[in-house]
Amino acid sequence: MFNAKVKSEVLKGIIDVTSPLVNEVKFNITPKGLSLRAVDPAHVAMVDLEVNSKAFEEYKATDMELGIDMDKLGSIMRLSSSGDMVSIDYDEESNRLIVKIGNLIRKMGLIDTAGMPDPKMPNLNLPGKVVLKASELNQGVRASEAVSDHLALTVDKNTFELFAEGDTDTVNLKLPKDLLVELNTSSKCKSLFSIDYFSNMIKPVRGEDPITIMIGNDNPIRVEFDIADKKGHVTYLLAPRIESE
C-alpha cells in the first residue's frame, strides 16, 4: 500500500535531485518515508535521497519498492503549479501509479525493480569540510560553465576556492573563512570535477540555503543538503577527473 498527498514543489524537488543523474529509479517505501540510492549510467556519480513522511500532507504506506521512470513523472509535474496538491496512489492490481493534480489523472506504468541494483555508499575518509551558501557556489559554477567543462575545488584552513580554466579565459571564486558557514580541514585538499555533473547537483538548492562539501585530494567529492523544508536530505558522490601529466 502506498498513498500520499504532497505539495507539488516537494515532488518537483525530488525529481530535480534525481533526474539529472538517472532516469529509472527504485524508490524504497516504508511507513516512515521514502528513499532511493542510484548510480548514473557512466558510474561517475551517485545520489542518495531520504524524504521523511512528515514532508507529505498525508502519507500511508507499507514496506514496498516502486520502480519509477523519472522522465514520465517529470512530464506530469510540469503541468502543476506552485502550491498545487498532488495525490499519489499505487494501484496493485494494474501495477500502476495514479497521479492526480486537480482534475487531471495520469495512470503511470511502473518499472520492474527485480534487476535494479542496490548500490552501497562507500565509506570515504575526506579530510576537508566546507559549508557555504548555495547562492555563492551557484554564482561561481555558472561563471565557470562559460569557460570550461571542468573546475577545481580547493580547501585549506583559511579559504575555499573554485577555479576553472579554458583555452583563453579563467574563473576564480575565493571565499575566506569568515564568509563561509563552516570550514574545517586537516590539510590542503584539491580535486578536479566535471562542471556538468557538479552544476546539476547544486542546482536544486536555492539562495541562502547551506550546501556541505566534503573533499580530499583527487578523491570523490561528497555534496549534501536538505530539501522539503528540512524533512528530506540529499547526499551526492562525484568521482574526480584526474589531471593528465
Domains along the chain?
A: 2-32+56-109 (3.10.150.10), 128-238 (3.70.10.10)
Report how far residue 130's alpha carbon sits from residue 176's, in angstroms, rounded to the nearest whole number: 11
**pLDDT at res. 243:** 63
pLDDT on residue 206 = 87
Q: Give the DSSP H/E element, type plus range, for residue 76.
A: helix 70-77
- What angle, 0 to 180 degrees and rounded to 10, lies between the N-to-C axes of helices 8-18 and 70-77? 140
The strand ranges marked E within the chain are 2-7, 24-30, 33-39, 45-52, 58-61, 64-69, 85-91, 96-101, 104-109, 128-133, 150-155, 159-165, 170-176, 182-185, 189-194, 210-215, 221-227, 232-238
What is the pTM for the complete model shown?
Answer: 0.94
For 42, phi then psi, to 5°, come to -85, 0
Q: Is the pLDDT of residue 242 over 80?
A: no
For residue 212, pLDDT beyond 70:
yes
Mean pLDDT on 192-214:
95
The predicted-structure confidence for 171-180, as pLDDT tens digits, reads as follows 999 999 999 9
CA distance 41 to 21: 8
Residue 88 has pLDDT above 50, yes or no: yes
What are 50-85's pLDDT values in tens digits?
A: 999 999 999 999 999 999 999 999 999 999 998 899
Q: Is the pLDDT of residue 185 over 50?
A: yes
Question: Does residue 142 surpass a pLDDT of 50?
Answer: yes
- Per-residue confidence (pLDDT) for residue 245, from 0 to 100: 39
Segment 14-45, tens digit of pLDDT: 999 999 999 999 999 999 999 999 999 999 99
pLDDT of residue 138 exceeding 90, the answer is yes
Residue 117: what pLDDT?
86
pLDDT digits over 93-121, tens only?
999 999 999 999 999 999 999 989 889 99
- So what's the pLDDT on residue 145? 96
Beta partners for 189?
A: 155
